[in-house]
């Protein structure tokens, strides 16, 4: 989703560059330092440093993860882009061609995925096909075996439980369609201005935790006014508990990651024959340059790394779920499914070996009653953000916004389900913890977006250093 920086800060950046003479004349060292000099060393509330993440992601993880995400199981995502906005009616739909999403035709999606869209194995596929013959929810077909009835009821109960951090689409809805993510890539669409600003404003101002003593906006899009050193944008974070700080950093990190994607896949040139997409250095600087953003750009990039650590930790925790022998990435192509599972497990074992994982034990570790309430507030705030994605006027932005919020929500669900994962049976149905195919696809694609952002930061760093 385009954040609207081109509308609010782009003009400021252009005026600053012209008036200060810092356009083409800035030195290579200065251009790179103003975005990256503060993006180094240890991250707040973490024991990990940026440099370790860069090496691990860019050289050990990124290439294999991209290969996995190109496979059939992960490239097809079912989504309902027609759900109405639950919060306001005046949505301006983006009319640009680059905002459009091309859904898949029925014959383009592998049969195994279409028939097993809800579960994740051939056994579960057969189970859900039987289940669909029953009336919805409460009425379970009595012709099913007792064990199958129990599994269906447990799964239904779990799907409606308080463990979920997102309000997921009903993929059985006639409006839900499969989308090929490789043919609808996340990139700059031109969606910006008041409509995009409104989305992020609601996310920051109404869903991030804000101390009552803070009157100024949390939304960074509204932070262009001058301010003293004592009243910096991040000063309000100091009085918050670690959980509320983490919540803000997750949203800020997601926002930053999306902006990196838009800057890296920008429409540079368009002719009647073709479009040329590539890195837009000016766009990147307007979003992350330390001076143009009054010191906030580098902080946003550090929040992106924080988000990376959170999702990385979740993937390391969920390894036992995928290691079970009866789990498969079911598409109907047995050979490819087995190869992709091997690749998936290689990636997860690589992630498990990461030396400086985020320690989530500091979350909700205080008084039991207060911790439970805080966790519930945390979950409800994030669940509300997932609903806001249906208010995005650009369909391609809505697609990737829904996928990435569901992916992050799935990561949070995993982090708060450690005991349930540990108690899973080695084979057979897992009544206490399971992931739907939608959750699996969104989890890995969302992390793939963050991983791509970290890789793109290296590209932008090199491009800025080459400016003469």
What residues are annotated to the active site? 394, 397
How large is the C-alpha radius of gyration of the chain?
22
On whether 55 is known to bind a ligand per the annotation, the reply is no
What would the two tokens of residue 187 be? 């990139």
The residue to which tokens 């992020």 are assigned: 200
CA distance 122 to 120: 7
Phi then psi for residue 372, to 5 deg, are: -65, -45
CA distance 51 to 36: 12
On whether 427 is known to bind a ligand per the annotation, the reply is no
Q: Which of these, 397, 400, 414, lies nearest to 445 by C-alpha position?
A: 400
On whether 232 is known to bind a ligand per the annotation, the reply is no
Q: What is the DSSP string of 403-437?
A: HHHHHHHHHHHHHTTHHHHHT--SSS--SS----H
CA distance 120 to 85: 30
On whether 271 is known to bind a ligand per the annotation, the reply is no
Cβ partners under 8 Å of residue 136, min gap 6: none
Beta bridge partners of 267: 277
Phi then psi for residue 336, to 5 deg, are: -65, -35
CA within 13 Å, CB half, 197: 13
CA distance 170 to 78: 9
In our burial notation (b when 16+ CB lie closer than 10 A, e otherwise), range 413-441 reads: bbbbbeebbeebeeeebbbbbbbbbbbbb
CA distance 248 to 444: 22
Beta bridge partners of 177: 79
3-state helix, strand, coil in the chain (%, to 5): 55, 5, 40
CA distance 120 to 297: 40
Instruction: Report the interhelical angle of 296-317 vs 437-465 (nearest 10°).
Output: 140
Determine the 3-state secondary structure of 35 from DSSP. helix
Cβ partners under 8 Å of residue 178, min gap 6: 76, 77, 78, 103, 104, 108, 109, 113, 114
Phi then psi for residue 355, to 5 deg, are: -80, -15
CA distance 168 to 434: 15
CA distance 187 to 29: 28
On whether 287 is known to bind a ligand per the annotation, the reply is yes
| Known binding-site positions for FAD | 187, 189, 200, 252, 255, 287
| Known binding-site positions | 187, 189, 200, 252, 255, 287
């Amino acid at each position: 989703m385009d954040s609207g920086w081109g509308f609010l800060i782009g003009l400021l950046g252009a005026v600053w560059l012209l008036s200060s003479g810092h356009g083409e004349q800035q030195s290579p060292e200065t251009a790179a330092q103003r975005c990256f000099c503060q993006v180094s060393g240890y991250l707040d509330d973490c024991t990990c440093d940026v440099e370790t993440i860069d090496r691990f992601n860019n050289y050990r993880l990124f290439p294999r993860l991209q290969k996995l995400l190109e496979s059939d199981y992960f490239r097809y995502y079912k989504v309902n882009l027609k759900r109405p906005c639950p919060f306001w009616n005046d949505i301006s739909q983006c009319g640009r061609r680059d905002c459009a999403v091309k859904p898949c035709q029925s014959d383009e999606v592998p049969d195994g995925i279409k028939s097993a869209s809800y579960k994740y194995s051939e056994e579960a596929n057969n189970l859900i096909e039987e289940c669909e013959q029953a009336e919805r929810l409460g009425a379970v077909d009595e012709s099913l075996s007792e064990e199958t009835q129990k599994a269906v009821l447990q799964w239904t109960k779990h799907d409606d439980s308080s463990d979920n951090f997102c309000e997921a689409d009903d993929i059985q809805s006639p409006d839900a369609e499969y989308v090929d993510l490789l043919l609808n890539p996340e990139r700059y669409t031109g969606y910006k201005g008041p409509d995009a600003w409104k989305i992020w404003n609601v996310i920051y101002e109404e869903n991030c935790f804000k101390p009552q003593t803070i009157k100024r906006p949390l939304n960074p899009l509204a932070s262009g006014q001058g301010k003293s050193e004592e009243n910096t944008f991040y000063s309000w974070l100091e009085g918050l508990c670690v959980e509320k700080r983490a919540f803000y950093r997750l949203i800020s990190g997601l926002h930053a990651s999306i902006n990196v994607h838009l800057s890296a896949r920008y429409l540079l040139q368009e002719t009647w024959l073709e479009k040329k997409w590539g890195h837009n250095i000016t766009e990147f600087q307007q979003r992350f340059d330390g001076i143009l953003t009054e010191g906030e750009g580098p902080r946003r990039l550090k929040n992106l790394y924080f988000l990376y650590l959170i999702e990385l930790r979740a993937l390391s925790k969920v390894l036992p779920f995928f290691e079970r022998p009866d789990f498969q990435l079911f598409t109907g192509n047995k050979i490819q499914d087995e190869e992709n599972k091997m690749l998936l497990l290689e990636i997860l074992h690589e992630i498990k070996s990461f030396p400086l994982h985020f320690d989530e034990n500091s979350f909700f570790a205080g008084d039991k009653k207060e911790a439970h309430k805080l966790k519930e507030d945390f979950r409800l705030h994030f669940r509300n953000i997932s609903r806001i994605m249906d208010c995005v006027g650009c369909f391609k932005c809505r697609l990737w916004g829904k996928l990435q919020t569901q992916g992050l929500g799935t990561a949070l669900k995993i982090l708060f389900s450690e005991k349930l994962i540990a108690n899973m049976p080695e084979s057979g149905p897992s009544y206490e913890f399971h992931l739907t195919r939608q959750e699996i696809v969104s989890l890995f694609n969302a992390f793939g977006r963050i991983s791509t952002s970290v890789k793109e930061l290296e590209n932008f760093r090199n491009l800025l250093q080459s400016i003469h």
